[in-house]
Structure 1
């Protein structure tokens, strides 16, 4: 047992060193345009020793902090086991040097030993998911009116257009969903979480992936099977379409708890009604003009 433990620790140490070298090599080749680099001791000061926890997920934990200039930030502390440094590299490589009103800003990072931290502008109103699926009466109902939902959808679309068409290299997000749409002080939407993103040349219409990536329910069919066509920026458009359906209907794209078993999958429910000429009864009433915008 002692020998096995020693071997495990030795292999883990070697693995961590390889990841560290991989990340450092990336940062060296990335150039001077990358965000500010902070030491871990600075990150501890920024977060007051990780005092205020905002959330936690499979990637790690997020803490509230404040930069020396007083700017509030969110610090994502990545787990050591998060894939060979890929999520960290993806985040820095994609949003590390781009600026757009509808994309969350990466302000800094920390890479020290096995620690990987990402520092973003703070989004005080959290994610869109909190608002469109919640039945909590204390949540502001002003956000749930159709006009505001349409504004948010258009903001997300502008952010995606910039990623796909406005950058030197096309950025494919591969995880567009309500949880990854953050809202600022004025409820303006910003696309976040680029851990699964992929860069490709702007003239490259099809990309290659070794496996499907994204969140179940939002993943385009072609990521599962090439019978549906090649993988491209249109895969993000599919996810966006699913997002809009959820925003306007107020329910998740797959709802096993629904009374009618035929209504479990939201896109199928909508398709059947459209193809048969039936009206689509949305949870949020909208005007005819708004329906045209949605179409």
Structure 2
């Protein structure tokens, strides 16, 4: 995977099934990639939240219009087997939010770079496209959190490594990560702390090809991969060759969360936060996460405009 492509993985939806070395037929055997999505969870409308959102002017009557990147990035979002219907975790979440608001869901495809303008100009009511809460973005937008922004440490299934929770757990390991990314910065900082404490240094490995990366782990040339959790979890669920042994916030040492994004001061954020918390309480939220193998990224409570990642240089 190219340097900047990996660095922008969560922001651009740069990883596809093919990039993970996974065929569509194989993916379809373990995840529903059909355009019909017959098992997609649906919920009843929520009169309390509908009332809370009554003063918000939706783009269309009776419709919840959501901006979403459609570039391939399963399990979050990608095209179904018909190459035109968008599916994935973000779509499923958008659907149950629309259901809760008593509205039909309409998805609007938008490139990552274009969602801020599309949202402020009123092209859609909200963006559900893996947007991380940051202090800079909070100046222009409101947020309703729904998932942890997580990095994952994965090892081969029969690895003796069972848990990675803190810097000392990686001492002396050979670890693959993505150059020019937050995960690389975290990994190098953990290594610096370990060396300062007299522990063994790590060996950092970089690979442009995901197949070569997988081979390195399976052959023992590398002990672990430290990268974006969502795509690793999906691949692990498909091939069963790797297992999760630890997660780290994408904003370490600060907690980072992904959120539904709405126009600043529009009045929709609080009702959406309420909807998500109701979905958490009912169990629907967790069912959707588990459908796409994203259970480790669950949050206990949705929040409106929580502290976000700091501005660069602050």
| TM-score w.r.t. length of structure 1 | 0.28
User: 1 or 2, which has the higher helix percentage?
Assistant: 1
Higher percent of residues as strand: 2
> Normalising by structure 2, what TM-score?
0.27
